[in-house]
C-alpha cells in the first residue's frame, strides 16, 4: 500500500511540475507563399486553343494588382482566312478573383469585364468573293479558373461573350474560349 501511495504522489507531482512550464508555440512559415510572392506581379500567357484551331496567335499580358484583382490585355492576330472573322483585335480586361485557397494571389475562379476592338472581314457565304472589311467595338463578360504553381507557371481555362456595339460586323456577338499556359514573373 505504501508503494502504491508513493507512486500516486509521484505521478501527481510530475503533472503539477509539468504545468509550471510555459506553453511554447512554434510558428512554421509556408515556404510556398514566399516562393510564389517572388514570382512577381506580371504574367504572360499564350492561348493554345487558337493555335490548334487556326494559324492564329493570341497573347495575353496581366498585371496583378492584389490577390483579388488584376488587369491586362489580349492581342490576337489571325494568319488564316477560314475560321475567324476577326483578323486582329486588342481586348483590355479587368478581373476579379474569388475563392483563393492559396496565398499566391490572383488565382482561382475569376470574373472578367472586357472590351474588344476588332478589325476583320465579314464573310459572304452566298458565294460572293467580295468580303467587306469592318471595325467594331464590343463589351463583354467572362468567367474562368486559373492555376499557378510554385515556379510561377500558369494554366487557365475561361469562356467569355461580348456584344458588338457599332453593328459593323456581320455578327452581333462573339465568344472567347481560353485555354492558356503562361509564366508569372
pLDDT tens column, 109-162: 999 999 999 998 876 555 445 468 889 999 999 999 999 988 899 999 999 999
User: What's the predicted TM-score (pTM) here?
Assistant: 0.73
**Please, what's the b/e burial string for 61-100 (b: 16 or more CB within 10 A of its CB; e: otherwise)?**
ebebeeeeebebebebebeeeeebbbbebebebebebeee
The CATH number given to 30-184 is 2.40.160.20
Task: Go through the chain and tell me how many residues it has.
Answer: 185
- Residue 50: the pLDDT is 86
* Domain definitions of the chain by residue range: 30-184
Higher-confidence position of 113 and 176? 113
Is the Cα torsion angle 97, 102, 105, 108 positive or negative in sign? Answer: negative
CA angle 44, 46, 51 (to 5 degrees): 165
**Window from 23-27, 30-34, 152-156 with minimum mean pLDDT:** 30-34
Residue with cell 515556379: 151
Amino acid at each position: 500500500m505504501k508503494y502504491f501511495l508513493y507512486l500516486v504522489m509521484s505521478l501527481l507531482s510530475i503533472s503539477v511540475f509539468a504545468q509550471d512550464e510555459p506553453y511554447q508555440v512554434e510558428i512554421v512559415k509556408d515556404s510556398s507563399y514566399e516562393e510564389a510572392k517572388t514570382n512577381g506581379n506580371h504574367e504572360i500567357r499564350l492561348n493554345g486553343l487558337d493555335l490548334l484551331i487556326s494559324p492564329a496567335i493570341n497573347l495575353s499580358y496581366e498585371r496583378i494588382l492584389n490577390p483579388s484583382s488584376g488587369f491586362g490585355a489580349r492581342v490576337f492576330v489571325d494568319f488564316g482566312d477560314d475560321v475567324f472573322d476577326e483578323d486582329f483585335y486588342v481586348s483590355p480586361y479587368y478581373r476579379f478573383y474569388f475563392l483563393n485557397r492559396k496565398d499566391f494571389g490572383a488565382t482561382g475562379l475569376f470574373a472578367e469585364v472586357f472590351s474588344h476592338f476588332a478589325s476583320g472581314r465579314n464573310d459572304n457565304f452566298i458565294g460572293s468573293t467580295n468580303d467587306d472589311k469592318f471595325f467594331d467595338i464590343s463589351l463583354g463578360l467572362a468567367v474562368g479558373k486559373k492555376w499557378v504553381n510554385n515556379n510561377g507557371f500558369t494554366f487557365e481555362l475561361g469562356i467569355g461573350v461580348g456584344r458588338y456595339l457599332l453593328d459593323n460586323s456581320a455578327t452581333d456577338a462573339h465568344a472567347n474560349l481560353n485555354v492558356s499556359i503562361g509564366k508569372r514573373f
